[in-house]
């Protein structure tokens, strides 16, 4: 099904019959990706006395599960600047529109000693002067192991502070990446890329020009079958009053 959408004073003909889901699902198996030194998520039926909330157990007419997980460490998630501020800010209050123009780019992080870093020069070259509302970064190598990788204590690639500043100054409001964080795993709490992207200069007292409506989405997975280029992004979140929510970013081709 194709439909024409008027967005930012332009018309886009979007093929809604071909959604390109770039999220990683949450499971209670060992195949779930894990970051930040966590254990795997827990999805299990409620138990009350001899009653179990599971139809296959023969004692319930419904499946009735509790779910214990951390949005930052267990699956695709979208976060607002409340992730790093002393004052509480909610992703549910920060993200109020859900369709954006997006540019998908693929980069191989530069090797810098023991680190692998995405740089400003790479971002500039890949965007080629385009100024979308969202940027989707796929890193190389892009093996399917990302769907179940255990990231803790592996020093994954990350975004250089200058690259984050460039993205912000380009007017891009939504940053999506297939890594557990835009920052280095062990950075002594500096969070340089997070702060640069959100333009947060003081986490104790938020500066007036901090970007309350900008988001970062981490732990996505973009299949090799999806080519680099321009897309329409539908960024879906659950209505969590929290700094972050599990999310389901979906790309659509358009004319």
Note the pLDDT tens digit of each residue in 107-147.
999 999 999 999 999 999 999 999 999 999 999 999 999 99
pLDDT at 5 over 90: no
Tokens for 138?
Answer: 């796929």
Q: DSSP string spanning 149-194?
A: -B-TTS---EE-HHHHHHHHHTT--EEEESSS-SS-SSSTT--HHH
Length of the chain: 255
Note the pLDDT tens digit of each residue in 58-68.
889 999 999 99
The per-residue pLDDT for 3 is 87
pLDDT at 251 over 90: yes
Given pLDDT bands bounded at 50, 70 and 90, which one contains residue 255? confident
Closest CA to 201 of 64, 84, 30: 84
> Which superfamily is assigned to 2-26+71-252 in CATH?
Putative cyclase (3.50.30.50)
User: CA–CA separation, 83 vs 194, rounded Å?
Assistant: 9
Looking up tokens 């790479």 gives: 122
Note the pLDDT tens digit of each residue in 42-53.
999 999 999 999
* Phi (first) and psi of residue 150, to 5 degrees: -100, 105
| Torsion, Cα of 224, 227, 231, 237 (10° steps) | 10
Average pLDDT value for residue range 26-37: 96
User: CA–CA separation, 18 vs 54, rounded Å?
Assistant: 34
Mean per-residue pLDDT over the chain, rounded: 96
Tokens for 175?
Answer: 């940053």
Average pLDDT value for residue range 77-89: 97
Q: Are 218 and 182 within 8 A, CB to CB?
A: yes
Given pLDDT bands bounded at 50, 70 and 90, which one contains residue 155? very high
pLDDT at 189 over 90: yes
Average pLDDT value for residue range 93-104: 97
The per-residue pLDDT for 58 is 83
Given pLDDT bands bounded at 50, 70 and 90, which one contains residue 184? very high
């Amino acid at each position: 099904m194709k439909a024409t959408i008027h967005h930012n004073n332009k018309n886009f003909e979007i093929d809604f019959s071909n959604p390109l889901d770039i999220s990683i699902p949450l499971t209670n198996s060992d195949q779930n990706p894990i970051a930040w030194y966590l254990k795997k998520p827990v999805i299990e039926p409620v138990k009350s006395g001899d009653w179990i909330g599971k139809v296959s157990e023969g004692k319930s007419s419904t499946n009735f599960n509790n779910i214990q997980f951390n949005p930052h460490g267990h699956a695709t998630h979208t976060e607002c600047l409340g992730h790093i501020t002393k004052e509480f800010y909610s992703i549910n209050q920060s993200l109020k529109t859900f369709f954006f123009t997006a540019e998908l780019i693929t980069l191989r992080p530069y090797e810098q000693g023991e680190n692998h870093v995405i740089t400003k020069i790479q971002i500039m070259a890949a965007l080629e002067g385009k100024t979308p509302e969202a940027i989707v970064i796929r890193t190389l190598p892009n093996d399917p192991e990302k769907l179940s990788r255990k990231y803790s204590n592996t020093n994954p690639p990350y975004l250089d502070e200058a690259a984050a500043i460039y993205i912000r100054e380009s007017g891009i409001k939504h940053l999506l990446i297939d890594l557990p964080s835009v920052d280095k795993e062990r950075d002594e709490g500096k969070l340089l890329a997070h702060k640069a992207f959100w333009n947060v200069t003081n986490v104790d007292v938020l500066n007036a020009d901090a970007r309350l409506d900008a988001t970062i989405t981490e732990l996505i997975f973009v299949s090799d079958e999806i080519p680099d280029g321009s897309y329409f992004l539908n960024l879906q979140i659950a209505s969590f009053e929290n700094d972050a929510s599990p999310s389901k970013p979906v790309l659509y081709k358009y004319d």
